[in-house]
Amino acid sequence: MAFADLTKQLAQQAISSAIKDPPAAAAGLAPGEYGPVILAQIGLMQRALKEHEELIVLYHAGGERIRVLEIFLPSPEVAVLTGALARAIVPVSSLELVCKVAKVPPPAQPVRVSLVVGKPK
């Protein structure tokens, strides 16, 4: 019985420490630093593409899926994701994107995701 109690206590400690220490603090990022890091990573992925490849960036919200064509950061904490027919305004701290590389057959031209940062006031 003591082993079960010890396991339960360790699990409770792990849960309470996870709640007290959010992942951003563990990674060394302040809440306002997520946006520029996300844009930088997407920019790096796009620069690594070959001539007939494109980066497909998808955002899922509920049952909706948006293929992101532009990411605009009006502030470091807010992202505006623009697709062909939809737009999502999302707190950057909860933003989850799926990125994958796809080949584009000629003569079609690959699409690049536009990355825009708002001007500081």
pLDDT score of 68: 96
Query: β-strands 53-61, 64-67: how paired?
Result: antiparallel
pLDDT score of 70: 96
- The predicted model scores a pTM of 0.71
Residue 50's nearest CA partner among 118, 102, 117 is 102
53-100 pLDDT per residue, tens: 999 999 998 888 999 999 999 988 999 999 999 999 999 988 999 999
106: left (phi over 0), alpha (psi -120 to 50) or beta: beta
25/97 Cα distance (integer angstroms): 21
pLDDT score of 118: 80
